[in-house]
Amino acid sequence: MSFNYSALFQNRELKYYELVNKHQVSVIISNYGARILKINCPNKNGNMDDIVGGFDSIQEYLNRNQYYGAICGRYANRIAYGRFTLDHTDFQLDINHPPHHLHGGTHGIHTKIWDIQVEDNSSLKATLKCDSGEMGYPGNLNISLYFKLNDDNQLVLKYEATSDLDTIINLAPHSYFNLGGTENILDHTLQIHAHQISEIDPDCIPTGHFLNIENTDLDFNLPKCIGEDIQSTMNQMQICKGYDHNYVLLKDRDLNKPVAILSEYNSGRTLSIYTSQPGLQLYTCNWGDKTEIGKGNKIYRTRSFVCLEPQHFPDSPNHSHFPTTVLKVNETYSHYTIYEFGTL
């Protein structure tokens, strides 16, 4: 079912679409940034609630140019100084996180109006064409996103893209999760199946080295509360004042098993994440003293949410030993992410 917003943007009508399964789990998606605006799922007592952060009006999304619920790209995460070389040609991208490039630039795909095709009550297709040269990227890029909410309480996201020139691409969802509706996510339990992270410099740019994290404060191989080690004195943690790291997922993993599991005891909610991507960015909203007003006039503070973003590695175009993010002409970029909602 679709509803009209009372606003126009880029001379187009803003709309949102609701996907519902037989359990009455629902997901609301906007054509603005292909954003996930709401995910309503049950707690252990069967009570429904929204588990993602965001705003009450589309105008707030337009005014703030933030990433709540958006699909980020054309290159999610950071590219150092916005520079890369491809096919012996140097490219300069938009610098929107000085002195670096973040999440596709000021006018990345999170700011675009997508074309939506509703397939049925539980699935839709979103498409977008990005012009060559926009934000500095080469190639006319055609992106297709498929959203499916199945009766196993899984939200399946599939991405496909093609380009008429060799280019780079890294698409990632950027939902902000709080499973219990609590003030912060420090008591959420998290498990991530990874033994390494991409080591970062003081600007949160990868150094090119992979850091072994077993038995350190960055280790989530065994489930632990997010808040247990978040005040760590480790250099890698001090840089971010919390977690903002790319976890290197196991290459030989079973794709039928989740790469990460998030849970919250009081609500009993769980979120399991499956993906074909090689990395998972863990971000704990390390905002310091910054606050903002979100849904229901609730005050969002540092640690209010946790982001778990399946993607390729940050700054991959500048590190030849990282998994490639090059999309060549006549090839198709193809990846998926699955969010599975459950209870303890």
| Annotated active-site residue in 100, 101, 103, 174 | 174
* Peptide bond preceding 310 in cis form (omega within 30 of 0): no
CA dihedral of 18, 20, 24, 25, whole degrees rounded to 10: -80
Q: What is the pLDDT of residue 7?
A: 66
Between CA 76 and CA 314 the distance in angstroms is: 8
H/E stretch holding 147? strand 141-149
DSSP state of 62: H
Q: What does the block give as tokens for 232?
A: 């760590």
Output Rg (C-alpha) for the chain, integer angstroms: 19
Rounded CA-CA distance 227/190 in Å is 10
Phi/psi of residue 110, each to 5°?
-70, -10
Closest among 173, 314, 187 to 240, alpha carbons compared: 314
Confirm if 163 and 234 have CB atoms less than 8 A apart: no
CA distance 320 to 139: 21
Q: Would you give per-residue pLDDT tens digits along the chain (344 residues)?
A: 344 455 678 788 899 999 999 999 999 999 999 999 999 999 999 999 999 999 998 888 988 878 999 999 999 999 999 999 999 999 999 999 999 999 999 999 999 999 999 999 999 999 999 999 999 999 999 999 999 999 999 999 999 999 999 999 999 999 999 999 999 999 999 999 999 999 999 999 999 999 999 999 999 999 999 999 999 999 999 999 999 999 999 999 999 999 999 999 999 999 999 999 999 999 999 999 999 999 999 999 999 999 999 999 999 999 999 999 999 999 999 999 999 999 99
Q: How many domains does the chain have?
A: 1
Nearest to 280 by CA among 289, 292, 271, 290: 271
What backbone phi and psi angles, to 5 degrees, belong to 82? Answer: 65, 25
CA distance 139 to 324: 17
| Residue 52 structure tokens | 């993602």
pLDDT digits (tens, 9 = 90+) for 92-124: 999 999 999 999 999 999 999 999 999 999 999
CATH of the domain at 108: 2.70.98.10
Of the candidates 264, 309, 312, 335, the residue annotated as catalytic is 309
pLDDT score, position 6: 52
Q: Which domain holds residue 237?
A: 2-343
For the chain, the helix, strand and coil percentages under 3-state DSSP, each to the nearest 5: 10, 45, 45
| Residue 174 falls in the annotated catalytic set | yes
